[in-house]
Amino acid sequence: MRAWAARAVLPLALVAGVALALVPAGAARGGRNLTGFERRGGTTWTTLAEERDYLRSLVAEPDTGRPTWEAARITLTRVGTSARGRPLDLVTLTGARTVADPIRVLFVCGQHGDEPAGREACLKLVRDLAADRSPAGRRLLERVTVMVLPTPNPDGLVAGTRASADGVDLNRDHLAVSTPEARALRRVLRELRPHIVHDLHDFDTPAGVYDTPTLFLWPRNLNVAPELRGLAVELARDRIGPALRAAGWGSGVYGQDRTDRQVAGDADERLLRNAAGIDHAVAVLVEVQSEPASPLERTDAGLLGRRRVAAHMVAARSTLRMAAERGDAIAQAVRVSRERAERGGVQVHFDGADNAPVGRVEPARAPCAYRLTPGEYARARAALTAHGIVVGADLRVETAQPAGVVVALLLDARARFAVAEAEPADCAGGRA
């Protein structure tokens, strides 16, 4: 494919953020573009090579003579590479603009390499949105920018492993951001600032833990602004859950077994749904059961695979619908959360969850700043940089900045997953 100059839809300052293509979508019409998963009836997953060809096939060159369709444009952007050098590409869909600042929705489609159904749903979602000529489809992309990271863990996907090639669970790396994959995703969050982050997973649990084949959850971390948590609960419990049930699948809260005992889904700030919420986004987790849910699925791998992908599609569509319908409220909540952080002096919760608020450490007002020694700065530098945290020339780190809570979670001795231990700095007016 011949490279050509592209107009950026969103301001990108990504390290490797060279737009590969930006053109009117339309190649998917008529069923010409199918994923490997679709061509094989859902019996096996789309390979990385097939994904590359599929995404490129959705991008038509400007001199092919195909009619221009103004409803959607697709941008394919390299945002990083994996530990093994495999590309990490971000797909962005935009439409004709009727609002000044559209709601940005980011789908993260498979942090765990052995959970591929969400990735397949995302690949299908990109094509279906691009090919949708209906008035409703046009209106959606007028109000919402859709960003898709289809394969955030390509090394794990190829190996069939949960972890990355470095042996790291990426969904436990959104605070320290020690892996190239987590750093690439952090760059997207920091620079493109999605209003909604939708995290897709599959689950495989012992029999009897859950009664339903689909699960959802919002951020439980208490550092997430109440306005954002409320909207995340609305999205998960009041929209995604009912939509899945209406489609014929039972749905429930992730992490609560059939006796309501908490077995997963805690407030760990390293998890994407919590980290994205702390980073001023409405975040949601969706999990789809990977084991057969019926006798037919036990004998038909294609039926099993198609059900898993279809459930993720229903949840993703619910997220997009809420983005279009509740955009003003979402944008306002994100703005309030960010402005509050920039003022500083927020309360930091080092433990606890929204369903278990009493933790081992009482919440405390964040100090105005932390002071790092050269040695501690060396340990924390990579994480601070990845989060876009400003560090003064004297190694003083102010907490009155958008990632102020993250400063405390990275540097305070009371934090569970601190990467360094810094001392609260002396401040004018007597507040530490």
> pLDDT per residue over 274-285, tens digit each?
999 999 999 999
For residue range 65-108, list pLDDT tens digits in order.
443 344 578 999 999 999 999 999 999 999 877 778 899 999 99
Please report the pLDDT score of residue 32 as a whole number.
66
pLDDT class for 15, splitting at 50, 70, 90? very low
CA gap 213, 298 in Å, rounded:
14
All structural domains of the chain: 19-335 (3.40.630.10), 344-430 (no CATH)
Q: In terms of pLDDT, which residue wins out, 362 or 272? A: 272
Name the residue type at position 174.
H
Please report the pLDDT score of residue 257 as a whole number.
83
Please say if the pLDDT value at position 398 is more than 60.
yes
Please report the pLDDT score of residue 193 as a whole number.
98
Please report the pLDDT score of residue 432 as a whole number.
52
For residue range 207-240, list pLDDT tens digits in order.
678 889 999 999 999 999 999 999 999 999 999 9
Please report the pLDDT score of residue 362 as a whole number.
85
Please report the pLDDT score of residue 59 as a whole number.
76
Q: Residue 398 — φ and ψ, nearest 5°? A: -70, 145
Query: Per-residue pLDDT averaged across 304-318, rounded?
Result: 98
Q: Count CA atoms closer than 13 A to 119's CA, side-chain side.
A: 28
Q: Quick check: 204 and 291 in contact, CB under 8 A?
A: yes
Query: Per-residue pLDDT averaged across 141-145, rounded?
Result: 95
Please say if the pLDDT value at position 35 is more than 90.
yes
pLDDT class for 18, splitting at 50, 70, 90? very low
* 3-state helix/strand/coil string of the chain: CCCCCCCCCCCCCCCCCCEEEEEECCCCHHHCCCCHHHHCCCCCCCCHHHHHHHHHHCCCCCCCCCCCCCCCEEEEEEEEECCCCCEEEEEEEECCCCCCCCEEEEEECCCCCCCCHHHHHHHHHHHHHHHCCCHHHHHHHHHEEEEEECCCCHHHHHHCCCCCCCCCCHHHCCCCCCCHHHHHHHHHHHHHCCCEEEEEEEECCCCCCCCCCEEEECCCCCCCCHHHHHHHHHHHHHHHHHHHHHCCCCEEECCECCCCCECCCCCCCCCHHHHHHHCCCEEEEEEEECCCCCHHHHHCHHHHHHHHHHHHHHHHHHHHHHHHHCHHHHHHHHHHHHHHHHHCCCEECCCCECCECCCCCCCEECCCEEECCHHHHHHHHHHHHHCCCCCCCCCEEECCCCCHHHHHHHHCCCCCCCCCCCEECCCHHHCC
Please say if the pLDDT value at position 357 is more than 70.
yes
Please say if the pLDDT value at position 165 is more than 60.
yes
Q: Quick check: 155 and 83 in contact, CB under 8 A?
A: yes
Give the percent of the chain with pLDDT over 90: 78
For residue range 179-211, list pLDDT tens digits in order.
999 999 999 999 999 999 999 999 997 767 888
Please say if the pLDDT value at position 325 is more than 80.
yes
Please report the pLDDT score of residue 236 as a whole number.
98
Please report the pLDDT score of residue 86 as a whole number.
98
Please say if the pLDDT value at position 31 is more than 80.
no
Please report the pLDDT score of residue 383 as a whole number.
98
Please report the pLDDT score of residue 368 as a whole number.
95
CA gap 365, 352 in Å, rounded:
15
Please say if the pLDDT value at position 256 is more than 60.
yes
Q: Quick check: 105 and 196 in contact, CB under 8 A?
A: yes
The two structure tokens encoding residue 95:
């439409």
Query: Per-residue pLDDT averaged across 105-127, rounded?
Result: 98
Please report the pLDDT score of residue 14 as a whole number.
35
Please report the pLDDT score of residue 60 as a whole number.
59
